[in-house]
Amino acid sequence: MTMQTTMSSRLPHVAGRLLLGLSLALVCAQAGAAAAGMQLERVVLLYRHGVRTPLPGEVQLDEATGKPWPAWQQAPSQLTPHGMAGVKLMGGYDRQRLAALGLFKPRGCPPAAQLWFWANTDQRTIDSAAALAEGFAPGCPIAIGHQPKGSEDPLFHPIEAKTADWNAADAVAAIQRATGGPDALTAPHADALAAMAQVMGCGGAHDPDWCSPGQWHGSLALAPETGRMQLTGPIATTSGTAEVILMAYAEGRPLPEVGWGRTDAQRLRQLSQLHALLFDIHARPAYMAERVASTMSRHLLDVLRNEHAPRLNVLVGSDNNIVALASVLGLHFQLAGYAKDDPPIGGALGVELWRDHAGKRYVRLFYQAQSLDQLRELRPLDEAAAPVTLPLTPMGCTANEPCQLEAVLPALERAAAHVRSSGGVMNLPVGALLPPASRR
């Protein structure tokens, strides 16, 4: 497919220089750590899958004048060939960066015990993990671990797998207390709802009701027939719709097929804000974050504490996994082209473990992802043209200063405490997920 772009769809030069500066700041911090005698021991990268086709039921709004949504060649929920290529570029960049830091050789197949790739059970996550592995070590036989396809992996879906101490009524009450409810969340973003209305073709004589954002209200409650959380209103309706438009842009589709040609950089960021609001319900409030990230936190604790864990640990899941873990650690982020706390397509939340000459361990946290335009155009990635990389400071640590490992452990332990002590795979220690060579 021919990829088109316009100058109006690009970030302003000033913002681009700022984002490059953030990337260089992290690189300089890492280089400074190495120069100070610190050694990089292990890395955990929690990736979001690459560009995919729309999920079943994800589109909740129809174009106001009846124009059809553009069709996709692949089946619903699938990683696209373009998405696979974008993820592979990230894997190649990871190899360059980690080789420069001395964790791996620049080329060749690393020993199997040094790598661990684990994906959620969807095609888009499994294939994204395979593309990352191929980019990292081309032609090497890297195993991609995952539970049976279509099953609920407790590492990514502890609530659905019933391995977290979660109660729907308690969740609704906690979310309402933390956020004030859906209308309180959407109130500061009238501009984003207006942008959605414009992209969807509102402004005619026969507009549907949702074309008037000021009169559109939402609710969060327990569904009486199922006892599950039920979200209605703008967040529920616009989040998935916005994401489909963002995916179409990242896929490199012609601009007339991206929101019917009614998008630009500002509107894409506004749509991204609507997508991010869904996480303010389902993943970022403390009650939800600690449970959604409960098993992930337990696993991260094991990797950070296990001296025999692989040097590189790559987990590939979805946006809610990243937001939940970020919330547990007290992190916020915003990367090129996206709204605050909206996980970029094919990006990763990274945790590095460093050791100084006295044996003291420190962590460095960051977010790395291609900008929307880098991904749309499948731009090659290297040190001179790196993905956007944002240094992050977890709670308990100070910006631009080394963060002691012990500072982040309490938050992870609080989340890990919500893992049930019985039931299925959770009877096993989390280390059982690691390769045999790491279980020492």
Cα 397 to Cα 309, 351, 407: the distances in Å are 24, 14, 7
Cα 284 to Cα 178, 251, 271, 287, 332: the distances in Å are 10, 27, 19, 8, 10
Domains of the chain: 8-438 (3.40.50.1240)
State the residue for tokens 């609704």: 172
59-62, long-range: CB within 8 Å, 24+ apart, which pairs? 59/240, 59/241, 59/244, 60/236, 60/237, 60/238, 60/240, 60/241, 61/196, 61/200, 61/210, 61/237, 61/238, 61/241, 62/200
pLDDT given for residue 37 in this prediction: 79
Could you read off the pLDDT tens digit of each residue along the chain, which spans 440 residues? 333 333 333 333 434 444 444 454 555 555 555 546 799 999 999 999 999 999 999 999 999 999 999 999 999 999 999 999 999 999 999 999 999 999 999 999 999 999 999 999 999 999 999 999 999 999 999 999 999 998 999 999 999 999 999 999 999 999 999 999 999 999 999 999 999 999 999 998 888 888 988 788 999 999 988 889 999 999 999 999 999 999 999 999 999 999 999 999 999 999 999 999 999 999 999 999 999 999 999 999 999 999 999 999 999 999 999 999 999 999 999 999 999 999 999 999 999 999 999 999 999 999 999 999 999 999 999 999 999 999 999 999 999 999 999 999 999 999 999 998 644 444 334 445 555 444 44
Task: Give the model confidence (pLDDT) of 156-192 as tens digits.
Answer: 999 999 999 999 999 999 999 999 999 999 999 999 9
Q: Minimal CA–CA distance to 198: which of 267, 277, 275?
A: 267
pLDDT given for residue 440 in this prediction: 41
pLDDT given for residue 212 in this prediction: 87
